[in-house]
A and B are shown apart, each in its own frame.
Chain A
Amino acid sequence: MRRILSLLLVVLMIFGLAACASDSTTPAPVEPIAGSETPAPAPSGSTAKTVLNVWSFTDEVPKMIEKYLEMHPDFAEKYEIKTTIIATTDGAYQPALDQALSGGGKDGPDIFTAEAAFVLKYSQGDGSQFAASYNDLGIDVSNKIKDADIAQYTVDIGTNGNGDVVALGYQATGGAFIYRRSIANDVWGTEDPAEVGKIVGPGWDKFFKAAADLKAKGYGIISGDGDLWHPVENSSKLPWVVDGKLVIDPEREAFLDLSKQLKDNNYHNDTQDWQDAWFADMKDAGAKKTLGYFGPAWLINYVMAGNSGDTAGDWAVTEPPVGFFWGGTWVFGSASSEKKEAVGEIIEWITLDTSEQGLQYMWANGTLNGEGGTKDTVASGKVMSISNGELEFLGGQDMFDVFIPANQFANGKNLTQYDETINMYWRDQVRAYTSGAKSREAALKDFKQMVADNLDLIVE
């Protein structure tokens, strides 16, 4: 008994230490059952701040809001933010967010974000009842959009069935081909973006011809088939679902063959995007060196720059074989939020403020956290026209020269609210087919089966 008591003591001590170390405002574990569903009453003490719950799948938006608080001390006096960040890896973000949104109350999100792969769910689909219209947040949205010259697809995607804008993005996510200068030089004797663009495209035939050139010299063209998927996915005409029915666009179906061709000819390192080996290829840590990646400006700054190691500065961007866009973050205010005015202020600053103190200007020019930060293409045409996209990482190239024209390929027409889930099933089947585990027909059949089994959709 003494032994057990002493153990309990140790446990309690560890627990006590932990309790001391963490902030004292954490609520006690035992909460009154009744009333926890209703929002907490506003704190009466003058020092207590109102908490804004922010849900996101990366730390981008939470960091922006921190910056906003820093720049607006009077706002920061009244409000503090509590962030919940859950990555979209393994599809974990949506279920958690959905539960929090339907749970509501004081733990419910006030501001939340969604990615292109599932933004429609919250702007137009099953989750649209959770989104507050920007007008209700006190934003003069239609005039501001005109004034800032926001990219049309951003607005289209963020507009709900009643024609109200409920979400806007701050990025423009037209894609480019991001390649290694030294490898291009070694294989084709040029590293000039205009020249390399003509070698790898336009069209997949030229791209595969380039891959053969690279193979002869012992290089791969891309890291894995996932790199090819994003151009294919977002250059297709039809979305996965039309009128509640599953549709496989021919362009997307052709991905099976493109992927197989890459694998059979050993044109890549056969990695999976977002896995160890894929990141490793950014700094030449893979089986063979690879020429490049497909991606929008955000891929350069938020993924490649941090993972590239010694290869930084050896990169350049050029026109991709087919135009595409990939990703983007849309910002929502919650319909059930009790703090709509504050939410509106923050959202307006992120999505519609075109001044040099606005988020988008700092975001485009990399000055959000002081000079020399990461740059990105942004949604406001007005801001883009006064911004500079030269990057050390790209050997001084102005990436906006490539990305601004690329943004014309961005549209919301081929998106659905199910994209994240359906893409996961599709990529699994393509992987099974290319690795030789099953036939093309079987892969297509099993893909349809997966969709039918797990989603409330009609599959023919």
Chain B
Amino acid sequence: MSKTRKKRGILFRVVAYTVCLLLAILSVLPFWIMFVNATRDTFQIQQDAISLIPSSHLMSNIKILLGKTFDPIKGLKNSMIVSTASTILTIYFSALTAYALVAYNWKLRKPFFTFILAVMMIPAQVSVIGFYQFMYKIGMTNNFMALILPAMAVPAAVFFMRQFMIVSLPLELVEASRIDGASEFYTFNKIVLPIMKPAMATQAIFTFVSSWNSLFLPLVLLTDSDKYTMPIMVSLLRGDIYKTEYGAVYLGLALTVLPLFVAYFLLSKYIIEGVALGGVKG
């Protein structure tokens, strides 16, 4: 069309790409520094904490790291148990609850949704004192269940799933399934869940990441070093105060991120495509 419009388009592209590239560098750089430092020795890091070129001390760092009480395998396993279980519980039960809110016409539906919006505002930290005392009384400290079971009730995830369902779940399908004589539970599992795939994947990333990285509750609830999750181990890494091995510390940090990398890039398709969330509130 007109030349000015074309010019504007080019200008837009230049600005947009520059900003995006800068942000992308900002996103990647810390990871790069972390991985590079994992291959450098303490002296090199003390001389210059940031380098973009890998060095040759990866093996010695591995040795130092394993020589400490740091046990990455144990940490990975514990974090994996907690995060995987929490994620499955969160996405399944949020979807189920959201389905109850979207597909059925029940008397308390509206009040229940308002309730969910309201309790979304109760932050976990507010109740941590009571939660700790409660878990302590029933002997659930040092028990992963104390970290996993609360994942069944995540109001924000329910809200997310509900907004997705409003846009993307054709209720006709549900009707059709009913006519075929399928039970409601069967319909949810076999027909609704597959449609929910993109929303579940996106929510799975968010839930997994936040559960993997959570520090506050595990720090308070777990005292048995065999049960430490990865973030607890990392926060204690700087610990061996008599001799700080920075290369090994960075290696430990890098190790905590790797599994997340794998999970994230496997699910990244859903981030790229995006999920459609409806704008209807109540």
The answer to A–B direct touch (Cβ < 8 A) is yes
Binding site for B on A (CB under 8 A): 1, 3-4, 6-8, 10-12, 14-15, 18-19, 21-22, 26-27, 29-31, 33-37, 58-59, 82-90, 92, 96, 99-100, 103, 107, 274, 276-277, 279-280, 283, 285, 302-303, 306-307, 309
Question: Closest chain A residue to B44 by CB distance?
Answer: A285
Q: In the complex, A194 Cα to B262 Cα: how many Å? A: 62
Q: List 16 A-B contacts (CB under 8 A).
A: A1-B194, A4-B200, A7-B204, A8-B88, A14-B76, A31-B143, A36-B140, A36-B142, A87-B240, A87-B241, A92-B236, A103-B142, A274-B244, A276-B46, A285-B47, A306-B243
A375: shortest Cβ distance to chain B, in Å? 15
Known: A7-B266, A276-B49. 11 other contacts (CB 8 A): A7-B204, A7-B263, A14-B262, A31-B143, A33-B138, A58-B242, A84-B225, A86-B236, A92-B236, A283-B43, A285-B46
From A11, A88, A96, B241 is in contact (CB under 8 Å) with A88
Q: In the complex, A104 Cα to B273 Cα: how many Å? A: 51
Contact A107 B139, beta carbon cutoff 8 Å: no
Contact B239 A86, beta carbon cutoff 8 Å: yes
Q: In the complex, A51 Cα to B239 Cα: how many Å? A: 24
Per-residue CB contact flags for chain B residues 220-258 toward chain A (1 = under 8 Å, else 0) read 100111100000000110111111101000000000000
Given contacts A11-B263, A92-B239, A285 and B43 within 8 Å (CB-CB): yes
Question: Closest chain B residue to A307 by CB distance?
Answer: B243
Contact B81 A29, beta carbon cutoff 8 Å: yes
A151: shortest Cβ distance to chain B, in Å? 22
Given contacts A92-B235, A276-B46, A107 and B143 within 8 Å (CB-CB): no
Cβ–Cβ < 8 Å partners of A10 in chain B:
262-263, 266
Interface residues of B in 137-196 (CB under 8 A from A): 138-145, 148, 193-194
Contact B223 A4, beta carbon cutoff 8 Å: no
Contact B263 A107, beta carbon cutoff 8 Å: no
Q: In the complex, A102 Cα to B84 Cα: how many Å? A: 30
Task: Check: B80 CB closer than 8 A to any chain A CB.
Answer: yes
Q: In the complex, A27 Cα to B77 Cα: how many Å? A: 12
Q: How many interface residues does chain B have, given as a range? A: 35 or more
Q: In the complex, A178 Cα to B117 Cα: how many Å? A: 63
Cβ–Cβ < 8 Å partners of B43 in chain A:
283, 285, 309
Task: Check: B74 CB closer than 8 A to any chain A CB.
Answer: yes
Most buried by B among A29, A59, A103, A285: A29
Binding site for A on B (CB under 8 A): 42-43, 45-47, 49, 68-69, 71, 73-74, 76-77, 80-81, 84-85, 88, 136, 138-145, 148, 193-194, 197, 200-201, 204, 220, 223-226, 235-236, 238-244, 246, 259, 262-263, 266-267, 269
Q: In the complex, A1 Cα to B140 Cα: how many Å? A: 34
Q: In the complex, A302 Cα to B244 Cα: how many Å? A: 11
Q: In the complex, A96 Cα to B267 Cα: how many Å? A: 36
A305: shortest Cβ distance to chain B, in Å? 9
Q: In the complex, A82 Cα to B224 Cα: how many Å? A: 10
Contact A59 B194, beta carbon cutoff 8 Å: no
Q: In the complex, A100 Cα to B201 Cα: how many Å? A: 38
Contact B241 A58, beta carbon cutoff 8 Å: yes
Cβ–Cβ < 8 Å partners of A35 in chain B:
139
Contact A4 B197, beta carbon cutoff 8 Å: yes
Cβ–Cβ < 8 Å partners of B141 in chain A:
99, 103
Q: In the complex, A82 Cα to B144 Cα: how many Å? A: 20
Contact A4 B204, beta carbon cutoff 8 Å: yes
Question: Closest chain A residue to B208 by CB distance?
Answer: A11
Given contacts A14-B262, A103-B141, A302 and B77 within 8 Å (CB-CB): no
Question: Closest chain A residue to B145 by CB distance?
Answer: A30
Question: Closest chain B residue to A87 by CB distance?
Answer: B239
Contact B239 A89, beta carbon cutoff 8 Å: yes
Contact B81 A22, beta carbon cutoff 8 Å: no
From A84, A96, A279, B46 is in contact (CB under 8 Å) with A279
Given contacts A1-B197, A3-B201, A58-B241, A26 and B76 within 8 Å (CB-CB): no
